[in-house]
Structure 1
Amino acid sequence: MAEAAASPAAPGKIYFHVHLVSDSTGETLSTMLKATAARFEGASPLEHVSTLVRTRKQMNEVLARIESSPGIILYTIADPALRRHLEVKSAELQLPAIPVLNPLLNAFASYLGLEQTMQIAAQHTLDENYFQRIAALDYTLAHDDGQMLWDLESADVVLVGVSRTSKTPTCMYLANRGVKAANVPLVPTNDHPPELETLKKPLVIGLTASPDRLVQIRESRLKNLDQQQAMEYSDASAVRQEVTRAKRLFLRKGWPVIDVTRRSVEETAAQIISKLSAKRAGHD
């Protein structure tokens, strides 16, 4: 069993304890906490993460920590006895204990007419989907930043864009979802790679961003790399020309375009996955 707690980082915020209790890795709870806490500005959770909680002794240790730092309890516990033990103690402490997956599980069980499995960490089973994600990660790493252009036809998605349009992080996010993603940078001093002209299978998407935003990002990168001499890389006029040239290419090729200026990597990836699903369903 592993346990960790976050510490306050900034004054002026309301801090509150949240205990994440899981018989597995706790990834689901962490994701749900982040999504929920983001809706409450000015409040910041102090996370106490207890994972691989599978015995009564381990649960008692968790409950002792909860009692010493009272707060909201989010949990995913498959074992009915352990779950009941947690629920009873939290009721005694008058603390909210929320089984975050229950509404989903109950809805699925009702709709499907099937019973739920009590298998712990079933989502982490080494099944076909797991190996698909590993294969996608291997492919994406090998085809990052214009590598192995001769093998782009085997990609699910190919992202094309000028420097600093989040191509690599978006590809990595997609790979974690089992999507084989490659990315090709557009270099202002060269024509785009001819391999892009003949692609049939992959969904090719152009990524663009506001020139002003790109200038900011590139200037910051140059400072971190101590490369002040590379002025053209962050020159506003040159960057505008880069973006315009890229957009003309996207338009000529008929590739869908996503502006990442105000989008997170997750939002960009979600839009790409939606477009890929439509393509596979024959709706493009």
Structure 2
Amino acid sequence: MWIAVDIYALLTLVVVFSWRVYECPMSEKNPNISIYFHVHLVSDSTGETLVGLMKASTAQFRNATALEHIHALVRSEAQMEQALDLIGSKPGVVLYTVVNPDRRKRLESFCAEHRIPAISVLDPTLALLGRYLGASIISEVGAQRNLDAEYYNRIEALDYAMAHDDGQNVQGLSEADIVLLGVSRTSKTPTCIYLANRGYKAGNIPLVPGAPLPIILDQFKNPFIIGLVASPDRIVQIRQQRLMGLKQTQQTDYIDQDRVRDEMRQAKRMFLKKGYKVIDVTRKSIEETAAQIINLYKAHHDTL
């Protein structure tokens, strides 16, 4: 909670700062004007923590758009100086996770000297945990990414998701943790990839009009099967965009409103008949869908 409060307060200051830097006199008359500002993410690891936190924070500012500058794997003085040169030329705000004390001090001194807002995003959480646990931190770069069993499990899950995507190797789905069913464009593949990154072995089977589900699916005991549905209008829109990307403009049953509505109706009937859990992905991001799937999966296994 401390991180969120600190980041939001800091970004508020950055937006104000940006108005002054870019001299936007219309901003006072038009509160809907877009504000662009620089955000430098400095890390001696991959920078993924900073990217996720920055996106979550800036999403709270409707008209603010961050211009990201990612300085990852900064593990030498030369790399730090290179990052500082860019920060100095494009000032805005600096979010950092730097373990090395000398490089961290150099970054903090530079930002203080040039009056550039900067914050070490993990400090409040580390301080809280340290007080609670009565322990000191190990100060290890990328400690959360050690090549442990969990890491290799995620890699295995990713391989599994790719090998069992879009109805491939249906018999192998008997070893899955989660199996997703849905008509075309219900985000089955990206959701499986996201679940794999969380360590779940997930595969998916598309529902094709006129084609029955593989009979073997009824024999599976281990996989938790979930049906994905969405608004027919939304499915048509996504399919049209896909065809445009493929430079196919002719009208087909694939994007016919009535046919798509019938596809979705049949899918829902089948899910109900089979007793599968159903998730409507119409207004959900991949992350939100995956989080709901994980909650259902855990609740299901708690009852076994």
Paired residues in the alignment total 272
CA distance in 1, matches of 2:216, 2:251: 29
Change (3 A) 1:194 1:227: farther
Deviation at 1:108, TM superposition (A): 2.2
Change (3 A) 1:58 1:222: closer
CA distance in 1, matches of 2:72, 2:252: 49
SS at match of 1:144: coil
Mean CA deviation greater in 242-251 or 51-60: 51-60
**Any residues of structure 2 matched to 1:100-115 within 5 Å, and which?**
100-115=121-136
CA distance in 1, matches of 2:250, 2:231: 23
**Any residues of structure 2 matched to 1:1-284 within 5 Å, and which?**
13-228=34-249, 231-280=252-301, 282-283=302-303
Code of the residue aligned with 2:105 in structure 1: it is: R
Deviations 1:216-246, CA, capped at 9 Å, x for gaps: 2222323333445562222211111111111
Which residue is 1:8 aligned to? none
Which residue is 2:8 aligned to? none
Structure 1 residue ranges without an equivalent (≥5) = 1-11
CA distance in 1, matches of 2:242, 2:108: 50
Change (3 A) 1:239 1:126: same
RMSD across aligned C-alpha pairs, in angstroms?
Answer: 1.7
Deviation at 1:137, TM superposition (A): 0.7
Code of the residue aligned with 2:157 in structure 1: it is: A
CA distance in 1, matches of 2:203, 2:269: 21
Deviation at 1:23, TM superposition (A): 0.5
SS at match of 1:48: strand
Deviations 1:103-150, CA, capped at 9 Å, x for gaps: 222222223333211111112221111111110011000100011111
Which residue is 1:9 aligned to? none
Deviation at 1:247, TM superposition (A): 0.7
Which residue is 2:25 aligned to? none
CA distance in 2, matches of 1:228, 1:128: 48
Which residue is 2:18 aligned to? none
Code of the residue aligned with 2:46 in structure 1: it is: T
Mean CA deviation greater in 157-166 or 59-68: 59-68
Change (3 A) 1:142 1:21: same
Structure 2 residue ranges without an equivalent (≥5) = 1-32
TM-score by length of 2: 0.84
